[in-house]
Amino acid sequence: MQKSSNVTDALVLPGDVIATAEEYLPGRNAAESNGYVVSLIYGSVRKDDKNLTVSVSPVKKKLSVHVGEIAYGKVTKTDQRHASVKVGAVLDKDLGLVEYTAEGSIGLSSQFDKNGNPNIHIGDIVRTKILRIGERGFELGIFGKNLGVLRTLCSKCRIPLQKKDSSLYCDNCERSEIRKVAEDYGMIDITGEWA
């Protein structure tokens, strides 16, 4: 008796070719592209020889977050001591950027401009380092050239600020704002619900 479906040991990434369109029809988490069936997710290939479909099963790996890893999120609240962050993703060394929901906070004791305003504002998209993991969430840090604000909007007109020299500038309002920005501010594509 022939097996109707089997799972291969090979793991595939989104866009990897998993079969030709002549052999199999795309099943779950797969699509046809230029005569090939490609994976839409990271996972293992499952071929159904009875129905001639090929699918990709997601890898059931629970992401384990550690101190020192990089987290991405959106600032939701600030006060004189902390900025609250809704973490939306964590950079995993094996899987890359993985969606991960958690609460976090950044200590602002030394993060103020000359007028006493925090260098992080509500709505800022930030790249942070996880300093501590506790029951209430992550303690996050933004010290380092690759850490800090990645995208922000003007406090007055809500148009994205552009990096000019050591500050951020609004072309619409013709005014500057100060943030603790990452070295690659404005150069990365950030997508997702939290962005």
CATH number at residue 39: 2.40.50.100
Q: Quick one: pLDDT at residue 14?
A: 79
CATH label of the domain that carries residue 75: 2.40.50.140
Quote the domain boundaries for residue 25.
Answer: 5-58
Residues 30 and 121 occupy one common structural domain: no
Residues 36 and 112 occupy one common structural domain: no
Residue 141 lies in a domain: yes
Residues 79 and 30 occupy one common structural domain: no
Q: Quick one: pLDDT at residue 109?
A: 65
Residues 141 and 169 occupy one common structural domain: yes
> Domain boundary at 18, 37, 58, which?
58
Q: How far is Cα 69 from Cα 91, in angstroms, rounded to an integer?
A: 7
- List, as one string, the DSSP characters of 18-42: EEETTT-EE-TTEEEETTEEEESSS
Nearest Cα neighbor of 15 from 56, 61, 48, 53 is 56
Number of domains the chain contains: 2
Write out pLDDT tens, residues 31-80.
998 899 998 887 889 999 999 999 988 766 567 889 999 999 999 998 87
Residue 194 lies in a domain: no
Residues 161 and 95 occupy one common structural domain: yes
Residues 33 and 81 occupy one common structural domain: no
Write out pLDDT tens, residues 86-119.
998 888 887 777 878 899 999 876 555 555 555 7
Write out pLDDT tens, residues 139-151.
999 988 889 999 8
Cα angle 127, 147, 83 (rounded to 5 degrees) comes to 60
Residue 50 lies in a domain: yes
Largest CA distance in the chain: 78
Q: If pLDDT is split at 50, 70 and 90, which confidence band does 132 have?
A: very high
The per-residue pLDDT of the chain, averaged, comes to 83
Residues 88 and 53 occupy one common structural domain: no
Residues 38 and 97 occupy one common structural domain: no
